Structure formats: structure tokens, C-alpha cells
Homo-oligomer: A and B are copies of this chain.
Amino acid sequence: MTALERTTEPVPDSEDGLVRVRLDLGYDGTDFAGWAKQPELRTVEATLADAIATVFRLTAPAQLTVAGRTDAGVHARGQVAHTDLLRRTWLEHEGVAQRQLRGFLPVDIRLTGISAAPAGFDARFSALSRRYSYRICDDPAGVDPLRRRDVVWHRRRLDAAAMNGAAALLLGEHDFASFCKRREGATTIRSLLEYTWHRDPTDLLRASVTADAFCHNMVRALVGACVAVGEGRHELSWATATLRAARRSSDVTVMPAQGLTLEEITYPADAGLVDHARRARRVRTIPNAQ
């Protein structure tokens, strides 16, 4: 998940000989130690960077910027990343890049698109919103084996209506410190745009959670809060009180990574890209935040 913070990363201009390339992808996070590169661990970033280097014949792994820095075990269906390539490198391989990358990528990564990005595009800072799903099965018989990689089993029955009620109380722009792993100097103010729970006929509960951006662990903590309400451990009012406290509490469970999937990143229309990225780089404060 992406924290909003100041960076000095330049947005490359097409005239300096670089092309910004947008990559759309999905992955089964089960066998990855998350998105971000780490020495000696299998990560999505390193796997993708190596495949790009191979296909475009780079001398080093590609440098990638990502919209949602997913943790170990978290999945993605609509992840977006970018990398900058020399124009001539891009032009030389553009026609075969997609097919070749698919050949080099393992079965747990799916490249759905690769294209030259519009001027001012930044996979991370241009993003208007991120949408995640969280999937829980509360059937006492356990999870359908065919869904065991992206569904978490919960041993107590959950009240989806109560969870929906709690979720609605958290919507809006707030300091989400109660649901975030704090990082020095980073804000925990976010706009929660959508948070709903839905139970399907197979007893699968699915949360859809959208925000402009999320702090670290935030979706999984928001899910944990609604699960506490859904199993009757807390009243609805507890969710509001916890939000208002704006302080991390051991009372909020961070749910397992496996149930979480990054579904979609939205971006402004091409014309709005530069302006939006500039705004997104600013650290936000809420006047008189409670």
C-alpha cells in the first residue's frame, strides 16, 4: 500500500529521450514476499523487473514505480506500475514486448497491458483511487479448496448487515491513525470513498474498499474492525470511537494478507495527469483534525 510523501522524482519529459511505459498486471500473491524488492526473496517487483530487462535487453533490472505496494501474500488483479525506457529501446521492442514478457513471466503473474504512458503519468502519484477486495468465508465447513488462496476462513459466523453498518461509519476524510502502522513523518489522513460488505450465495463475504490511497495495513485493519462488529464482539459505536481516537489500538485486528486483493487503480483523464500528480505529492493535514 502506498503512503503519500514528498519525493523529488522527476516526471521525465518525452524530449529527453525517455519513454514512460505503463504496465498493467495481476498476480497470485501466495508465493511472493510482496511487491517490493528484497534481497534473496521472491518478489513481484524483482520478477517483473528481471523479465523487462530480458525482453528489452537492459543491462540491469528495470526500475519500477507502483501504484499499490502490496505486502507479502496480498494479491492483485488491477495493479499498475511504470518504468522509464530509452525511446529507441522502447521502439525497438514495442511490437513484441507484450507477447515476450508473457513468455518470461511465471504463471502467478499476468501482464494485461504494456503501453507508452501519456505525458505526466506516474503510476503512483497520478492515481486518483485504489480499490481493494477482502474475502472471508464463515461456513463452518471451511473454504472452498478452489478459493483457498484468496479467501480467509473465519471460524465464527459473521453478521454482514452489522459489518456494512460499521463500514458506513468510517467513510469520508479522516485521520485513520487507528487503522495504520505509523511511520515517522507520514500522514495518516485519507479519504475513504467506499466500504461495503456483501454476502454471496456460497457464504463468501466480500468487502469492497476504495480510498484515494491507503496507509500500511489500513485495509486489513478496516476489515478487522468490521469483523469484530460482525461477530458481535463490539457495537457499531465502537467503530466510530476507534476512528476518533486516531491512535493505533491493539483492539483492532489486522486480518491475514491472503484475503486481500488489489482490484483497481483509477487515474484522471490524460489532460489532468500532471496537475494531479503535483497535488498528490503534497502532505495533507486536516485543519482541527479530531
A141 in contact with B111 (CB, 8 Å) = yes
* Other A-B pairs, 7, CB within 8 Å; known A28-B146, A146-B149, A146-B150: A26-B145, A28-B145, A107-B145, A110-B141, A110-B144, A110-B145, A113-B141
Contact among B26, B139, B141 with A144 in the assembled complex (CB-CB below 8 Å): B26
User: A145 to chain B: which residues have CB within 8 Å?
Assistant: 26-28, 75, 107-110
Residue of B nearest to A75 (CB): B146
Q: Is A143 an interface residue (CB 8 A)?
A: yes
Interface string of A150-168 (1 = CB under 8 A from B): 1000000000000000000
A77 in contact with B146 (CB, 8 Å) = yes
B144 in contact with A77 (CB, 8 Å) = yes
Which of A141, A143, A261 counts the most chain B CB atoms within 10 A? A141
Interface residues on A, range: 20 to 34
For the complex, what is the distance from the CA of A146 to the CA of B99, rounded to whole Å? 20
Residue of B nearest to A143 (CB): B110
User: A282 to chain B: which residues have CB within 8 Å?
Assistant: none
Residues of chain A in range 95-152 having any CB-CB distance to chain B below 8 Å = 102, 107-113, 139, 141-146, 148-150
User: A102 to chain B: which residues have CB within 8 Å?
Assistant: 141-142
12 example contacts (A-B, Cβ-Cβ < 8 A) are as follows A26-B145, A26-B146, A27-B145, A28-B148, A75-B145, A77-B144, A77-B146, A108-B145, A110-B145, A146-B149, A146-B150, A146-B261
For the complex, what is the distance from the CA of A111 to the CA of B142, rounded to whole Å? 8
Going nearest first, the 10 A-B pairs with the smallest beta carbon separation are A28-B145, A112-B141, A108-B145, A28-B146, A146-B150, A110-B142, A110-B145, A27-B145, A75-B146, A107-B148
User: A139 to chain B: which residues have CB within 8 Å?
Assistant: 112
Residue of B nearest to A108 (CB): B145
For the complex, what is the distance from the CA of A159 to the CA of B92, rounded to whole Å? 35
Residue of B nearest to A28 (CB): B145
User: A148 to chain B: which residues have CB within 8 Å?
Assistant: 28, 107-108
Residues of chain A in range 19-59 having any CB-CB distance to chain B below 8 Å = 26-28
The distance from the CB of A70 to the nearest CB of chain B, in whole angstroms, is 13
For the complex, what is the distance from the CA of A144 to the CA of B76, rounded to whole Å? 9
For the complex, what is the distance from the CA of A112 to the CA of B113, rounded to whole Å? 40
Which of A113, A149, A150, A261 counts the most chain B CB atoms within 10 A? A149
For the complex, what is the distance from the CA of A142 to the CA of B77, rounded to whole Å? 12
For the complex, what is the distance from the CA of A261 to the CA of B147, rounded to whole Å? 13
The distance from the CB of A113 to the nearest CB of chain B, in whole angstroms, is 7
For the complex, what is the distance from the CA of A218 to the CA of B109, rounded to whole Å? 33
Interface string of A72-83 (1 = CB under 8 A from B): 000101000000
Residue of B nearest to A109 (CB): B145
